[in-house]
Amino acid sequence: MGEVILTMKEIDKSFPGVHALDHVNLEVKKGEVHALMGENGAGKSTLMKVLTGIYTKDSGTITFEGKEVEFHNSREAQDAGIVIVHQELNMLGHLTVAQNIFIGREFKKGMRIDDKKMNEEAKKLFDRLNIDIDPKETMSKLTVGKQQMCEIAKAISHDAKVIIFDEPSAALTETEIEELFKIIRDLRSKDLGIVYISHRMDEIKVITDRVTVMRDGTYVGTLITEDSTKDDIINMMVGRVIYEDPKTESMVPKDAPVVLKVEHLKAGHMVNDVSFELHKGEILGFSGLMGAGRTETARAIFGADPIESGDIYINGKKVVIKNPQDAVANGIGYLSEDRKRFGIVVDKTVAENTTMANLDNYMSGIFIDKKKERDVAQKYVDDLATKTPSVDQLVVNLSGGNQQKVVIAKWLTRDCDILIFDEPTRGIDVGAKSEIYKLMNQLAADGKAIIMISSEMTEILRMSDRVVVMCEGKKTGEIGIAEATQENIMNMATREIG
């Protein structure tokens, strides 16, 4: 660790109705990875947006390389050497990967943009970072994970002195995270200052040097990672200790009835001959590498994408699911991995989003009973500890994790027998994560059946009663939790079949 490169002092920022930052401090040194931690809505993203000129601070000072600075837009910050990988993806769907990476600083040959050179440079960049993406592919065709890797590559391609990663790992799989860490270590060795925001405690221990913790928009303190335990940090964040231990045996009784049976499912480009059973009261983990086809399987079962062939049985009865309505009518709920696109209606209120899947229960005659609607929304805001000034707040103004809680609330109002949770804790803080885990366990105990798709190995091992592993659109293995280990799951996830 070298000298201090960046100091933020007494930063204050309010939005209408929310005091997002209350005199927050942050100090970043050259050659360190500095973790910024805090619960959902603690103000981490806001602090970083203030730093990079996207928001203007109400008061406080920012010192960068010994000089006091104030950036008015992200370009100025970039030029000074501070770049950020945003929590929410900021891609230009219609442009190619290379065009995205070099947007705003294209290579030119006279008047002409040199796309060839950009593709080459992008390729070089990807090779260096060990990422396998075709620079000429259109951005919107990539999976969320690959898009995130492009964002990271883009940030790194700047000649930056400070790089901020706002929850980069949320959309990434274990292997990709390994690659990311290699990249970050490499950057650290080049004396860059790195701010790393994440909710995954394991990562913090592995990659960071110091940790700054925020709570409710205030600065709590800074620790040296090596000298502190996971519990210390969690304690600072949420004011109590949370334990996360792997599950060792299935909680499901042996004779639990099969509620969902999928046979030889074939759909889309990816899902090929997938069969599995789901029991009442079971949490079935779906593990696999990126692009393994788990999301597509879930979408096909939910009727979001057309099914080519295969049968679905619910409680032993064959059902035809042509669209999400059919699925919902059959008692299936689906929590999407891409909440911004598929999960929430961002510019509507918390209350409206909460009842979206189940409006029929909140009607009186032909009219929507708004009081009842707000009451149920408030109930789930309380139950899930969603941070929002009121149920009338627009979802767009909530922090990422709290948005996720709203989507969960949406499906909880609808009392589904089968719930598919696709990356349910993506971007959710430890406190809330344990709440959601508790909730999922509770649901399972109440007799609901849950499919949990997760790319986080610890999550799979902690929550599942049984694990299904997929690779390249096929089911490559199934294993009870008692036998499951990180190694044998990884093995199945990369297994060549047939």
Partner 1 sequence: MANNTVKTTVRKESFINRMGGQKFIVLLVAIALFLVFCAASPGYRKTTTFITILDYSYYIILMGIGVTFPLITAGVDLSIGTGMVCYALVGGWLIRFHEWPTGAAMIVCILFGMVIGLLNGFLVAIMELPPFLATLCTSMITRGIGSVIVGGFGIPWPTAGADNAWYRNLFKLSNGSTIIPIGLLWMILIVIIMSFVLNHTKVGRYTIAIGSNKEATRLSGVNVRFYHILAYVICGFFAGLAAVSYAAVVPTVQPGTGAGFELEAIGGAIIGGVSMSGGIGSVTGTLAGVFVIVLLKTGLPFIGLTANWQQIITGLVLIGAVLIDIIKTKREQIK
Ligand X SMILES: Nc1ncnc2c1ncn2[C@@H]1O[C@H](COP(=O)(O)OP(=O)(O)OP(=O)(O)O)[C@@H](O)[C@H]1O
Pick 34 or 387: Cβ nearer partner 1: 387
Pick 250 or 404: Cβ nearer ligand X: 404
Residue 136 binds to partner 1 (criterion: CB under 8 A): no
Report the residue from 80, 91, 129, 252 that binds partner 1 according to the rule CB under 8 A. Answer: 91
Q: Which helix (H) or strand (E) holds 335?
A: strand 332-335
> What's the rounded Cα separation, in Å, for the pair 91 and 302?
27
Smallest distance from ligand X to CB 264, Å: 17
Parallel, antiparallel, or unpaired for β 162-166 and 418-422?
unpaired
Instruction: Pick out residues in 257-316 that bind Mg ion (CB under 5 A).
Output: 295
Residue 53 binds to ligand X (criterion: CB under 6 A): no
Residue 78 binds to partner 1 (criterion: CB under 8 A): yes
Applying CB under 5 A, the span of 43-51, 154-162, 343-351, 378-386 interacting with Mg ion comes to 43-51
Beta bridge partners of 287: 469
Report the residue from 125, 223, 274, 292 that binds ligand X according to the rule CB under 6 A. Answer: 292
Give the amino acid at 258: V
Report the residue from 25, 63, 90, 143 that binds ligand X according to the rule CB under 6 A. Answer: 143
Residue 86 binds to partner 1 (criterion: CB under 8 A): yes
Build a one-symbol-per-residue string for 318-347: x at contacts with Mg ion by CB under 5 A, - elsewhere. -------------------x----------
Pick 258 or 385: Cβ nearer partner 1: 385
- 463 and 283 Cβ atoms separated by less than 8 Å: yes
Instruction: Pick out residues in 237-276 that bind ligand X (CB under 6 A).
Output: 269-270
Tokens of 400: 């990422």
Beta bridge partners of 271: 267
Smallest distance from Mg ion to CB 411, Å: 17
Report the residue from 2, 221, 239, 447 that binds partner 1 according to the rule CB under 8 A. Answer: 239
Build a one-symbol-per-residue string for 285-324: x at contacts with partner 1 by CB under 8 A, - elsewhere. ------x----------x-x-x----------------xx
Per partner kind, with CB cut-offs from 5 to 8 A, the member of Mg ion, ligand X, partner 1, none near residue 255 is none
Tokens of 78: 């970039």
Instruction: Pick out residues in 167-196 that bind ligand X (CB under 6 A).
Output: 173
Smallest distance from ligand X to CB 9, Å: 18
Smallest distance from Mg ion to CB 273, Å: 19
Residue 38 binds to ligand X (criterion: CB under 6 A): yes
Q: How far is CA 394 from the centre of its chain?
A: 20
Instruction: Pick out residues in 320-339 that bind ligand X (CB under 6 A).
Output: 337
Report the residue from 4, 256, 258, 359 that binds partner 1 according to the rule CB under 8 A. Answer: 359
Instruction: Pick out residues in 152-211 that bind partner 1 (CB under 8 A).
Output: none
Residue 198 binds to Mg ion (criterion: CB under 5 A): no
Beta bridge partners of 469: 287, 477
Q: How many chain residues interact with ligand X (CB under 6 A)? A: 36
Phi, psi of 44, rounded to the nearest 5 degrees: -65, -50
- Contacting residues for 165 by C-beta, under 8 A, at least 6 apart: 85, 152, 155, 184, 194, 195, 196, 197, 198
Q: How many chain residues interact with Mg ion (CB under 5 A)? A: 4
CA distance to 28, 94, 228, 268, per residue, from 299 (Å): 43, 24, 42, 10
Build a one-symbol-per-residue string for 10-29: x at contacts with ligand X by CB under 6 A, - elsewhere. -----x--x-x---------
Around Cβ 131, how many Cβ atoms within 10 Å?
18
DSSP string for 352-370 = HHHTTT-GGGGEETTEE-H
> What's the rounded Cα separation, in Å, for the pair 244 and 260?
29
Q: Where are the alpha helices (DSSP H) in 81-166?
A: 97-101, 115-129, 144-157
CA distance to 46, 147, 464, 468, 486, per residue, from 480 (Å): 42, 33, 9, 9, 13
Looking at residue 403, the DSSP 8-state letter turns out to be H
CA distance to 278, 288, 290, per residue, from 470 (Å): 16, 5, 10
Smallest distance from partner 1 to CB 172, Å: 16
Q: Catalog residues that contact ligand X under the rule CB under 6 A.
A: 15, 18, 20, 38, 40-46, 87, 141, 143, 145, 173, 269-270, 288, 290-296, 337, 387, 397-402, 429, 455
